[in-house]
Structure 1
Amino acid sequence: MEFWVLGPLEVRDQGQVVDLGAPRVRLVCGLLLARPGDLVAVEQFVDELWPDQPPPDARALVRGYVSRLRRALRSGPSGADRVVTRKPGYLLQVEDQELDVQRFERLVAEARSARQAGQPRRSAELFRRAHQLWRGSPFADVPHAASIAAVSTWLIEHRLTTREEWFDVALAAGQDAEVVTELTEFVTAHPLRERSASQLMLALYRCGRQAEALEQYQRTRRIMADEIGVEPGAKLQHLHQRILNADPTLANPTDPPDVVEADDAAATSTSAPATTSASLEGEHESRPGRPARESTEVVAWRQLPMDIAEFTGRQAELATLHGLADVGEPDLPTAVVISAIEGMAGVGKTRLAVHLAHRLINRGRYDDVQLWTDLRGFDADHPPADPADVLESFLRLLGVPGDHIPPDVESRAALYRDRLAEKRALILLDNAVREEQVRPLLPGRPGCFVLITSRRSLSSLDGAHAMRLDVLSPEEAVQLMAQIATDDRIATQRHAAARVANLCGHLPIALTLAARRLRTRPRWTVSDLADRLAGDADGLQSVSPQTRGLNSTFDLSYRAISADQQRMFRLLGLHVGNDITAESAAALAGWTRRQAEEVLEALLDEHLLQQEIVGRYRFHDLIRPYARHLADTEETSGQRVQALHRLLTWYLHAAAAAHDVFDPHRTRITDLELLPTECTVPKFRDYEQALVWYEAERANLVAAIRAAHPHGLPEVAWQLAWVMMSFFYRRSYWDDWISSYHTGLAAAQAVGNQHGEATMYNGLGVAHSDLRQYTTAIDCHERAQIIFESINNQRGQAWNLNNLGVVYVDLHRLDEAADCFQRALPIFRSIGDTRGEGICLNNLGDTTRRLGDTEAAITYLTDALAIQQRREDHGGLQFTLTTLGDLHQDTHQYDIALEYYKRAMTTSRQLDDQRTTARTLTNLAKTHRALGNIPAAIDHWRQAHTIFTDLSDPQADEIADELTEAIWSER
């Protein structure tokens, strides 16, 4: 499919022009093409279509126009469905180079590259080909709503600028005679553009038309004086003088065109075309005339960590940062304000950033959105956070459903910038390691304030205001200790306090730990604390305070805690996840949950752990390596292995316990890696509790999957991945699902576990099928089948064939689907898997129904129903009842179909199976529509759409189309 906007709007499908219909439908198409792949909210359409007074049913009308556009695009030879419904609006999917603007930009970029490579003739030809794509004014036959007008204005200016670039390279290539006519026409149409006037003068002079070149200067001078009251610029005047003097160097086309007034940004870089592409491909850069963004509801946007009650000092730094924040007010025409707080470990960068953020929020600033993330730039045990993962997390917090999040970092960054457009947002990026990690996380519009903390200088981060944070002054250090100690010992022993501060290197984190130790020892004097620090074997006075000296401070707290607390502290250094719970700590240590929680709370009081969410603990990034060092030196190798095995196996069994409640009807793995007797698996009372646990532990569970094989537990790697499949599927965590299954696959392959390998391929096939990546899905299922057959795993064969058959049904390859189900059915029967038999019979009934064999379908479905009723398999029964409803709807027995659908929906609701409930609601809606009961159909579609949207299921788009059609037909 091709989309043309550089002139009258036109869509071509395999060479045939698609009739878009009425002007308002063309305008909707134009608004989507102005931002292809970018979400346009329904409210944005309303504002654009009816800028003065929208009608009462404006939203329904918008849905109708979008529906008519979708039908028009589907009417082409390819039948492509390009309009996607996503809350709160729509987007138009445009592949690379399908849009003429994209082709224009590609040719312009190639032309610039050729020019830089010293190939002016090739560059000129590429510029010529680029401009041949223009067929008139952009969106020429589309009503010029505000966004269309803004994009058109910018595109026209970009066309003029790049055409002047073309004239430049043509002159450099000696093509003066070839372009002089086009230049004359161009200057006549745009007499105030000095750059093109100078190009025309130079071309005329090189063609031996000196007098005409001088006359052109006088003409330009008169027009400028008459219309804007100014003289030509210095460069144009200088060229005029050189032509008067017949400067011989002007005749040489190989000379650099320094006499020509050039747009440096366009001539020397690719920033200008990037902006053009941005406005149409989803990169939301700030520029004049950019269309207004839609308003998007933020669903979880207050993400700042807790403020630090003990914060003190830093008044000069706070004043500077407040000044920068003032520059970021949204009513000032400026860029995003970025402040990078840099300094050594433990100097208080995060404390300062968090405290400033809370002060700004309390003053009513940046109150739309506040996002925070730990980029883990300096974590010895974990890689730095991947910007793609951070963007996924931010987008989910900003209300983007999981299956609507693009797979690549560039598209995620574009959608992220779009979600923050027109919002007053404060973004806190903690512990950054490099500029590349940060750039995708930066907003694109004024009114945002970004705070970055890093131990490294981010000097090449464009637009960032660097603040180098040093240690506290002696006065601030003593003040901080006094605030933490909470009594008058610091105030009455100022000299000793200054000595402690000096021994701690005035480093905030070391000062905090020392003062907390003083607070918990009311009989100590400040001198006692100073003597202990000074007498440390590491010698605080002779080493760098941020390294060994800091460890000495940690040692002071470590030696003062109990033996149980010391052991827990050491073992926590081995924890594979980012945060810790009492349950996971108990598994690590082989204790009860209560014992672990008491020790964790004690470590929290000692400031050896931090807590940002109640019940979840984490290390400061300086203390974790210290704890890991203690584990390596004070625990034997066998003790470390046992602790990790307890932890990883506990995660497997805990996830399996949650799975039994979250998806109780799915087949279980019966040979899970054995759980150590000292570990206790959590119990989950209901679906919601299991879901909350999965969400909170997701990052830790994925980390456990990654860590299992390297730590000698390959079976845990693939088994835990398998257990997590239902959660990944229902919550649309496609990245985690696929990466975990690949990790499990590698672990199974490494130890030659063919059962695990085939199981992972089967699960990958389901994942790729759900993502509509059918070719990959089929390949995975075929690999699984070969392995299952080679090891004579009949259960695996049957279920994999069943899943492969579902892929073929989705592809409408019904004969191949039926073959898969026919092969699976006797295997299910031979191994006595009646649940699988019932599901396979239902799938066969559905497939033969689609093939038109009603009699065979009835036989299969009757058998399936009998099996499922006999074994009370409500999970399978809901599907068979639905298929029976489909069968009677096919034969126009709508009343009977309704009864089957209602029974199916009742069963699904009893199982709390929201996805299947929504599918049945869809079928009920279709039946009501067939009966002419449109209000009932609309009600059922609305319920289904709400559920699918909440589940981030791709079917939400399809339901939105049906709902729109029904509402439109009721008008």
Structure 2
Amino acid sequence: MTTPAPTPGPGLECAVLGRVRAWYDGVPVDLGQSRSQEVFAILLAAAGRTVALPLLVEGVWDEGERPSRAEHCVRTHVWRLRRALARHTARPLLVTVGNGYALRVPARAVDTWACERALARAEEIRASGGSAAQARDVLAGALALWTGEPLAGLHGPHARALRVRYARLRQLLLEARLELDAELGDRPGLVAEASALVMEYPASQRLRAVQMLALYRSGRQAEALGVYEDTRRHLSTELGRLPPAQRVPAGDLTALHQRILRSDPTLRRARTERRPQAPGHASFPSPVAGFTGRDEQLRELTGMLTRPGAPAVVVSAVSGMAGVGKTALAVQTAHVLGEHAFPDGRLHIDLRGADTAPVHPHAALATLLRALGTADDDIPEDAEERSALYRSLLAGRRMLLLLDNAACCEQLRPLIPGSADCTVLVTSRAWLTGLAGARHLRLDVLPQTEALSLLRRTAGRRVVDADGEAAAALVAACGSLPLALRIVASRLAAEPGRSLAGMVRRLADERSRLEELRTGDAAVDAAFELSYATLATEQARAFRLLSVLDVPDIALPSAAALLGLGIEEAGELLDSLVDLSLLQSHRLDRYHFHDLVRVFARAANAREDRAATTSRAVAALLDFCLATARNADTVAHAAEPEERTLIDVAPTSPGLAFTTAQEATDWMREETALQRALIARACTDDSLPLAQAADLVDRLNTVLSGITHLSAVGDLARQVAEVAARRGDRPCEALARYVRGNALWHANSFPQAKTELHRSLALCDRDADLRLRASAHLTLCAHARVRGRFQDAIVHGEASVRSFRTLGAASAEGTALGELAFNYARQGRLAEAQAAAERGAELLGGRESVSAAIGLYYLARVLHLCGDREEALRRAGAGLALFRTLNVASFEAASGNLIAQLHAEQQDYALAARTAETFLPMARKVSAMLEGGLLRTLGRSLLHLGQQARAEACLQAALELFDGLQAEQDAEQVRGLLATAAFIPR
């Protein structure tokens, strides 16, 4: 390039000719507020030399405005700047030297160096006989670096002094550039620009000379002579303090004045250099046939490209995955704007960024110069000269440059013109965040309505509308990717006998889907292959491994475990895949594939990775997830880790840590899909530890019970149990059958639950599996209680309490005591019930946890049965508040049911009805038993409120639920209420 512009590149790059800004490897560095920027600017101006702390203080504040602890303030700003730089590099850039600081940045990294270098380079070009146009464009490129007042927004003494220095630098650049403008010829606007600059810099005799010459060549000799007289007056009146010898115009200006007086004919002959013609529009690509949709993106991109009065070249970048339609949108936008928007022409170049060998910027410049009319012999070989010629040809022209399929910012920077008259539109699979000043549009797949419209436009409206369900399925199979949709639509159009449903069936098989998405020279997998081939080894490995599990997305810590990397290293790797549009990230630190890209990545994994390698990676992720799930279980239930372990297996990973029960349950909810996928894979991959999968199923069961439906957990437990049975793994089968029984119980499938729980007990070793036996007895206790068999429930409950007490599992014992207490109360053993409930609450309390809330709930139930309704309400309300905080829906509904019942028994029927109605929607989602209980309370309350018809409807619905659940005692209570209702006069 002609001038090293301050566009972000490798390492630290800085700009002060406008706002103070910095980038590291193309990524903006946050320099903080104005005082921090002042410190940074002072250190930057020192060019690596040490600046003493007192000098920094003097440079930031005027003497009367310094805070009392000014040096401390400067140290704080330095600390903040160091922290900002450390986010981008481990290199110590801002260092302490004695009682001062130094910023280790090369001079060329600052935009002012580029300007100083431009002055010297322009002189070198002219001295060596080079082109005046080339020298002029070197200077124009440097002037383009000014984006506003230098150090804008900074007002300290040092900033004011630097502004004076930089103003002088700009003046020198302007003087040299206008002199070359005058040498090259009478370009339009030269008189106006020279006159305006003379008003800005009245003491500049070089600018006055250009003004005089431009006026003379325009036939305005008298005005040219008037400039000389004005110069004399200015020097005499405004600069009277100068010595007499300096109060007259310089010799060059005086000689020019004499030549104009003589009407010297040689002054009218300016040197002109051949300027190729504008390229026009003929070579620009035509719009894509059948372009459909993208109205919102067209409006946005059109607005981005039409920014009248922009101070610098307008650059807009469209990024997105292969086949998403970036080029089609860019070309369509250019045609929507029309030729009148770019009267000097439109250029297009395919930079082949997705190829293994993208077009080099040097070669791209040659292609663009030819398009601008430059003969091959006139294209310079030197990179700086080639860039200068390119910029000079574009200067002052209103043109659109479509730089299509760019690889990276480094490829693009030499191709960005310096003229603000040009507009640049870039397309790339990469997310070009390092392209300074660019506006970005990230293109996603088509919405379903637009995808169906595309199918109609290509395959025919009649074909698509004849089978709307198949059309929607076809869009889903193509992942709404425009390239895939065009391929299937063209195949349907070419083969009228082929049906939409038939095409959907062909695409249903993941193994052959990409083969089906090929036609002519278009192929989805070929588009993906181009991107894949450019990946570095680690990127390619990550791309393949991330695809192996059937999950909608994956969190960064889990991805790091799968890849065997640290969090930061994995984050950088995954973000690089996002930047290349091979991976997507719609939420912070969560990543996912487009469906077709996942299919491609899996095929690559099957082709390139040994099965054992993939299994080791998945095993590492399973180990990490189990360790994290154990941590979540422990925190959620405020228990010791060993209390929650029902099988002898120990993960090696420490997993993620949690500080609150809410964090723990949130993680389990968020990662349910991942854990399910890992368990399912362990059931089909013999190299993965089945015991870890069984333990993970149990963690899902214990943490998520009461929060969400457990039917999926029950299905996973069944799979694990069947695999364990085939392998003869009794401990795994015992645990899996316990989990399945527990899940079936929560799903109100009581007979099946009982069967599974007894099978689990039969498989348990009496001594080795004591904890599992205790847990199974506890669930059987609850099962018997629901069926109204309270004595059986007490037998199981007491067995569970004894076992947990033997194990020293305080939290589990507290839960078992709470369940046992309720059954004692139903058998009339009230003293034992209250003692058991209070001891259970004591064991479960002390921390904000699910277990503590359950303890309060159990105690409230027993207090209710013992007749202490006020205390029961207080405990139930406290438990409800905890359940709400922890999002435990089933126990929240259970607490609401109990509170409504207590209000009804206190004869506050209106409040009871309101409470029941509040919790009914939640109960319908989590438990038929709870729904029946709330309907019973609501019906009873409505009877007392005189709303007999509604009351009977609620009671009838409750009876149907209880009959279906074989909850005999509850059903009998409802029948009694219905019988009472029958005697109430209507």
Computing the radius of gyration from Cα coordinates, the structure with the larger value is 2
TM range (shorter): 0.3 to 0.5
Larger RCO: 1 or 2 (CA < 8 Å, sep 6+): 1
